[in-house]
Amino acid sequence: MKRLIDKLANENILSPEEFLYLFENQNTENTLYLFKKADGVRKKYYGNKVYIRGLIEFTNYCKNNCYYCGIRCGNKNASRYRLSEEEILMCCKMGYDAGFRTFVLQGGEDPYYTADKICSVVEKIRKLYPDCAITLSAGEFSRKDYEAFFNAGATRYLLRHETASKNHYEKLHPKEMSWDNRMECLKNLKEIGFQTGCGMMIGSPYQTYNDIINDLIFIHDFKPHMVGIGPFIPHHDTPFASMEKGSGNLTLFTVALVRLIHPNVLLPATTALGTIMENGREMGILAGCNVCMPNISPSDAKTKYTLYDNKLITGAESLSGKESLKERLNSIGYEIVTDRGDFKEYPNMF
């Protein structure tokens, strides 16, 4: 097992059989060895710096009906909201004053927020905060729309691929949604010049180790700038309400593997990880993550943007909690930085 972890650290890839062996032979000793390797690789590229992103959940209206997601259009119990342009700009102002230099606008696929409206918000943020990165995470759009976002001043785009196995994707989504289109979107985003993020849930219904291995191979080949990985957590008003939640340990294990596969990737310690596990985000950092995304949305939005049950909304998941996050990370030897925290290309590293 340790030999395979060393091999992965040296070669950045293993065969599917070797990955499967790693997943099937997890134990405390091997896991700690893996985390130590992943932590070392992260330190080589990013030191002990943890980048923070101010997350603004700008709408929970969504035209899609993903079986796992609490804001799916079929959930008639969801209490819907959308922030106005002014409210989004207010979040940015408060975030900027608190030291955030990246704003992440995440939302459902809200028909009100057309590409033109999104461009208008992005242009305003770009003008007010020329030194900040603007990340969008608003779902699937045409290549033309993505180009317009980029030209308006957006710098990054997060679009989790959700699963690299087409047949698994079809078990998580209704037939109106297409794995091929999602993959096409990711390709377009990267070609346009966005720092592009993909990602997946761990323990989503019907997922096997082979599906996670497909995700790892996809990440190796696609070389995204960012990868968001969190455990699946059921939401009571979805078709997956009674499905088993994902494992925090398996999430950490996968995160550490991703760090070894793609050493300079930006890896957030996700809210879902913090929700499912006590000190989940700190554990994520120790397993190779280097990004935290505190939620800087207004508190009403925070409670309504419920993708899954019991979402962490207090403590370090807030603007006021930035100090506590700082202390918590300091206590494990890491420091938050006021920095855009861009992806570091390999050639600049040496």
Give me the residues that bind ligand SAH (CB under 6 A), please. 68-69, 106, 108-109, 137-139, 159-160, 162, 201, 230, 232-233, 235, 272, 307-308
Contact partners, residue 226, CB within 8 Å, separation at least 6:
156, 158, 195, 196, 197, 198, 199, 265, 266, 267, 268, 291, 343
Minimum distance between the CB of residue 109 and ligand SAH, rounded to whole angstroms?
Answer: 5
Nearer to ligand SAH, 46 or 207 (CB): 207
Residue with tokens 């990985």: 229
Q: What's the one-letter identity of residue 107?
A: G
Smallest distance from ligand SAH to CB 146, Å:
13
Strand runs (DSSP E) across the chain, as ranges?
A: 49-52, 54-59, 102-107, 133-137, 156-158, 195-202, 226-231, 268-269, 291-292, 335-337
Q: What is the nearest approach in angstroms of ligand SAH to the Cβ of residue 331?
A: 27
Least spacing, CB of residue 1 vs ligand SAH, in Å = 29
For the chain, the straight-line distance linking the first and the last C-alpha, in angstroms and rounded, comes to 30
User: What is the closest distance, in whole angstroms, from the C-beta atom of residue 323 to ligand SAH in the complex?
Assistant: 26
**Closest to 307 (Cα-Cα) out of 70, 63, 66, 58:** 70
Residue 41 or 258 having the CB closest to ligand SAH: 258
Residue 118 Cβ vs ligand SAH, minimum distance, rounded to whole Å = 12
Closest approach of Cβ 237 to ligand SAH, in Å?
A: 11
Cα 298 to Cα 46, 56, 143, 199, 312, distances in angstroms: 31, 8, 31, 26, 14
Q: How far apart are CA 141 and CA 288, in angstroms?
A: 31
Which among 234, 231, 235 is positioned nearest to 255, based on CA atoms? Answer: 231
Between 14 and 243, name the residue whose CB sits nearer to ligand SAH: 243
Nearest to 296 by CA among 49, 88, 128: 88
Identify which of residues 110 and 282 has a Cβ nearer to ligand SAH in the complex.
110
